[in-house]
Structure 1
Amino acid sequence: MKILIRIGLLLTLFGIAWSCSQEEFIEKGQGIVKGRVVESETYTPIANARVSSSPSTSTVFTDSLGYYTVTQVNEGDYSFEARKDGYIAKFEAVHVNTGGTTEMVFELVKQQENNLPPTVPVLTTPTDNAMDQSLEVTLKWTCTDPEQDALTYKVTLRNDTSNNVVTYDNITTTSFTLTNLSYSTKYYWQVTANDGVNPDVNSLTSSFRTLMFPNARYLFVRKAGDNNVIFTADDSGNELQITSDATNSFRPRKNTQANKIAFIRTTGGQGHIYTMKPDGSSEFKVTSNVPVAGFNLDYYNYCWRANGSQLIYSNFDKLYRINADGSGLIQLYQTPTGKFISECDWSYDGNLIALKVNDLSGYNVEIYVIDMSGNVVANVLSGVNGAAGGLHLSVNNTKLVFTRDVSGYQSSDYRQLDNRIFMYDFTTNATTEVAVQRPAGYNDLDVRFSPNEAELIFVSTSNDGVSPRTITKYTMGTSNSRTTLFSNGVMPDWK
């Protein structure tokens, strides 16, 4: 009896063990993977393409229509590959489910490894950093193709004064002529080569600078978007932009002895004085710790010393002198009443400074002249309502020209209604209006002497506050000599 019980227990244990072993060796389910192999650009079927997987399943080949089917694929994750001579192999990751069908389309890209790209174009003419190039420049470069494929080129051109980028496409020779270039402008150019098979091949970037602007004696400011930009111009009306429209630059003042142009540029909410060469190159920031400041920088002025070594400028009620290299900042003067110094002009001999001071709103104007010790030597204007400005001393210190709104109108937007030009005579201490045949309803602003002091240059505009402004000149004592020089311009200078 005991023997039978033991035999029964052994049979039971063996049955359990055999059952567990059977569960461990049950195969997982299977699915199907099928799809198509085509060209990536045209979707043309690719016949006889090899389709395989990792982990390995069956290896199959596509039929004449590019179709393939892989059967009896165990459930799980796979990486399938489609391969065909002349094409780049393509891999796709998939998960196969039991009893399911997974579809995949392979888009194969043709191989170009048998076709080499063109050589990198080498820019030969003009040489990099070439100077004094004409306004018509022929660009030249060299480039070859290993298979002698027909090449097309693209020239990309930009300059240092604007954000404009110009491209010239479908060039079939290794030269291209640029026309209508601007004076005193640095250009950057690059050539792109293409053989119709491989990706573009770009050259290095090269640069050249065109001729200096001839006899450019005028400077003025014009709006470009939200910024002011500075232009130079000649007697024939030819104009050249010399500051970038990406910066706010205005109030240019040229010094002929230093052969530099000073100007104001606003950055970070502050205005500072900069200098540059007449072509707009070699910009240098002069002021740093004490910025320019007044009631309104649109009606602000500063001045060179005649020899070009120093400048004077104001910061609210204080007048400063600074060397042109940014050193030697000193305070020259402070208004006794706390009024702001909005404009200043330094005499040719360096002994006198004319000042225009005003309150926070630009009114309660006083114009007077001080010596270099800060003593007032002449009172030109005081006790009047309305705006005034545009100070400029004659070379021999006998006259001071300025403008004043004789209407006496005052408003929060500083609108002016009847702004006229006046001349103060230091010999007689008399102020007289200069008749320049101003049309009714117009303002004459920002007046300055011409270099020979026989003419005046100023801004003319309707008093409506919205009309365009023009740079105008007038020959004193000559009827019908009021002439428009430049349209849409302000802040003129004439040296």
Structure 2
Amino acid sequence: MFATLAFSLSACQEESVEPIRYGAIEGTVLDARTNRPLANVSISTNPATGSYVTDALGRFKIDQVPTGQVGVTARKTDYNPVTATLTVNEGQNTPISIQLEKPAAATPPGAPTRPDPVPGSTNQATEITLSWHPANAAKNDSLRYDVVLYEGNNINQRNLLTNSKDSTVLATGLLYNTTYYWQVTVRNPAGAIARGTVWSFQTRALPDNRYLYARTVGGNTDIYSSNETGANLVRLTSAMTVETAPQLSPNRDLVAYSSNANGQFQLYIMNRDGSNQRRITTLSAESYNNAGIGYRWSPDGAQLIYTHYDQLLRINRDGTGLTLLATAPSGRHFRECDWTTQQGGRLMVQTIGVNPYDSELYLYNVDGTNPVLLVGNLPGRVDSPSFSIDGRTVLYTRDVAGFNDANGRQLDSHIFAQRIDGSSTVDITAGTGSGNPGSKATGTNDIMPRYSPDGFRMIFVNRTNDNLSPPEIWAADLDGRNRAKLFSNGFLPDWK
């Protein structure tokens, strides 16, 4: 019996169990085609340790994994599952990277159909939503779309959509009276593609807007055109720099304007729809208190005059033929100007000192000779000379409060009309009498006047004298009556 007991104890000692040892696995799951991390991938192991899911960066970590050979399986919808084998060592983090591939498609997706607008459509808006429908697609298909747009014969394409689930896209900034071509490419989860037919549409004709003005929106100043009601609004510039002081050429084919795109205000011209913008000056259009506003078309639209510090210059519309016409008196600069062929041809030029209220208006011959003082240095700012159609009268503004402010603020600026022979000066703003219906509101300034195309009305800007409210563009008869607001938030208007 004793021998039997000893044998039994010896057998128990030989069958003792070794302790289980553990390590950890740290992994990342990527898309095999794009190499981008995949989130929400289901992770399991063999031997089993539990269920895990990758985070937004495609990462996962499994603690307490038995040492030795371990199989790791990754599964995600629309991808083929993958199992990888690795060796886990005790107390160590074992890294692993798994790449998932999408299954090969049995058939490519159907090409998109039912485009809107209908191919060949005309008279379309310059901001339009393009839409289409996938062909033979199931509701749960994960299709992606690319959309390209071509302008007329321009081979440069605009990518309106890239790898998007949307089947609509907004096309903005289109040109008037232009044919556009667009094409949709559809892609299924496996990467197989189908390209749709090239479709086309034509935008509507450019509206014959007679009003141009600058407007500041969100701190950015650009040029707009519209009709007399503010409808048919067209934004002609859209740079992040300042584009201002628009003027339509007398033959109504080009728009001149100034821009500080190169750091200084220079003169530019563009087509009436805002296309083909190009700079025509190399000497800046700047001077004392002049941020690109001192220029004017010649009456025939072939040239422009503009002010560059103490120089009055003339230049051809294509930027050639720069000519010095006149030099301002010592210590003064030229600022605003105008040009008429009537009365033998004259130029009207403002000279200004360092302070904005130190201002005078002179008449010159068109070749820049024979300066004649028309409006002397009066109390308050004198600005914005503009010839009447017959060249006999000039509009300008003056702060009748006589406020000489070094920062240029005006308290009560009025519009005046003065005969160039000095025989008559009329305060147009005061013509209706203060406080009467249609009169200028107290605490505002009338500034930037220009004659209407028929010569019997004027367009001008009215704004509060603290300059905190947006300026407004108004029109009135030449006696100051029938004042009417045309547009809110606009300045430096032009009407042709």
- TM-score over 0.5 (shorter chain): yes
In structure 2, C-alpha distance between the alignment counterparts of 1:284 and 1:374, rounded to whole Å: 27
Alpha carbons 1:248, 1:266 under 8 Å: kept: yes
Which of 215, 228, 246 does residue 221 from structure 2 map onto? 228
Q: 1:456 to 1:178 in 2, by over 3 A?
A: same
Q: Structure 1 residue 184 and structure 2 residue 176: aligned?
A: yes
Which of 299, 307, 316 does residue 300 from structure 2 map onto? 307
Q: 1:207 to 1:363 in 2, by over 3 A?
A: farther
Q: 1:427 to 1:159 in 2, by over 3 A?
A: farther
Name the SS for the 2:396 alignment partner: strand
Q: 1:410 to 1:131 in 2, by over 3 A?
A: farther
* Equivalent in the alignment of 2:210: 217
- TM-score, normalisation: structure 1: 0.72
Q: 1:269 to 1:245 in 2, by over 3 A?
A: closer
Unmatched tracts of structure 1, length 5 or more: 1-30, 50-66, 74-79
Alpha carbons 2:144, 2:188 under 8 Å: kept: no
* Equivalent in the alignment of 1:372: 366
Which of 380, 387, 402 does residue 386 from structure 1 map onto? 380
In structure 2, C-alpha distance between the alignment counterparts of 1:404 and 1:159, rounded to whole Å: 51
Q: Which amino acid aligns with 1:235?
A: E
Q: Which amino acid aligns with 2:109?
A: P
| 1:355 positional shift | 0.4
Which of 245, 257, 263 does residue 257 from structure 2 map onto? 263
Q: Structure 1 residue 133 and structure 2 residue 133: aligned?
A: no
Aligned residue pairs total: 432
* Equivalent in the alignment of 2:12: none
Q: Which amino acid aligns with 1:448?
A: R
In structure 2, C-alpha distance between the alignment counterparts of 1:370 and 1:468, rounded to whole Å: 35
Alpha carbons 2:249, 2:301 under 8 Å: kept: yes
Name the SS for the 2:373 alignment partner: strand
| 1:149 positional shift | 8.4
Larger Rg: 1
In structure 2, C-alpha distance between the alignment counterparts of 1:331 and 1:260, rounded to whole Å: 24
- TM-score, normalisation: structure 2: 0.71
* Equivalent in the alignment of 1:446: 448
Name the SS for the 1:267 alignment partner: coil
Name the SS for the 1:45 alignment partner: strand
Residues 52-100 of structure 1, C-alpha deviation per residue, up to 9 Å, x if partnerless?
Answer: xxxxxxxxxxxxxxx9967499xxxxxx99799x846577998x77x65
Alpha carbons 2:258, 2:293 under 8 Å: kept: no
Q: Which amino acid aligns with 2:247?
A: R
Q: Structure 1 residue 408 and structure 2 residue 402: aligned?
A: yes
Q: Structure 1 residue 426 and structure 2 residue 425: aligned?
A: no
* Equivalent in the alignment of 1:254: 248
Name the SS for the 2:286 alignment partner: coil
Name the SS for the 1:376 alignment partner: coil
| 1:308 positional shift | 1.4
| 1:494 positional shift | 0.3
Alpha carbons 1:116, 1:146 under 8 Å: kept: no
In structure 2, C-alpha distance between the alignment counterparts of 1:206 and 1:229, rounded to whole Å: 33
Q: Which amino acid aligns with 2:220?
A: N
Name the SS for the 1:414 alignment partner: coil
In structure 2, C-alpha distance between the alignment counterparts of 1:136 and 1:363, rounded to whole Å: 45
Mapping of 1:25-424 within 5 angstroms? 41-43=40-42, 45=44, 71=68, 87=80, 103=94, 109=100, 111-114=102-105, 118=109, 133-134=124-125, 139=130, 150=141, 184=176, 191=184, 193-195=186-188, 198=191, 210-238=203-231, 239-257=233-251, 259-288=253-282, 290-298=283-291, 300-349=293-342, 351-376=345-370, 378-424=372-418
In structure 2, C-alpha distance between the alignment counterparts of 1:438 and 1:112, rounded to whole Å: 75
Residues 180-235 of structure 1, C-alpha deviation per residue, up to 9 Å, x if partnerless?
Answer: 99883988977463545659989899997632342300011111333310010102
Unmatched tracts of structure 2, length 5 or more: 1-20, 30-37, 49-63, 152-157, 433-438
Q: Which amino acid aligns with 1:381?
A: V
Q: 1:317 to 1:135 in 2, by over 3 A?
A: closer
Residues 383-423 of structure 1, C-alpha deviation per residue, up to 9 Å, x if partnerless?
Answer: 31221111111122111111111222122321011100001
* Equivalent in the alignment of 2:492: 491
Q: Which amino acid aligns with 2:450?
A: R
Q: Which amino acid aligns with 1:113?
A: A
* Equivalent in the alignment of 2:11: none
Residues 331-388 of structure 1, C-alpha deviation per residue, up to 9 Å, x if partnerless?
Answer: 0111133411111101145821100111022232110110024333642211312211
Q: 1:267 to 1:299 in 2, by over 3 A?
A: closer
Q: Which amino acid aligns with 1:468?
A: P
* Equivalent in the alignment of 1:61: none
In structure 2, C-alpha distance between the alignment counterparts of 1:167 and 1:417, rounded to whole Å: 55
In structure 1, C-alpha distance between the alignment counterparts of 2:327 and 2:199, rounded to whole Å: 51
In structure 2, C-alpha distance between the alignment counterparts of 1:380 and 1:323, rounded to whole Å: 28
Alpha carbons 1:265, 1:273 under 8 Å: kept: yes
Alpha carbons 1:293, 1:316 under 8 Å: kept: yes
In structure 2, C-alpha distance between the alignment counterparts of 1:216 and 1:262, rounded to whole Å: 15
Q: Which amino acid aligns with 2:307?
A: S
| 1:110 positional shift | 5.5
Q: 1:403 to 1:102 in 2, by over 3 A?
A: closer
Alpha carbons 1:117, 1:145 under 8 Å: kept: no
- What is the RMSD of the two structures over their aligned residues, measured on CA atoms? 4.7
In structure 2, C-alpha distance between the alignment counterparts of 1:231 and 1:92, rounded to whole Å: 67
| 1:291 positional shift | 1.3
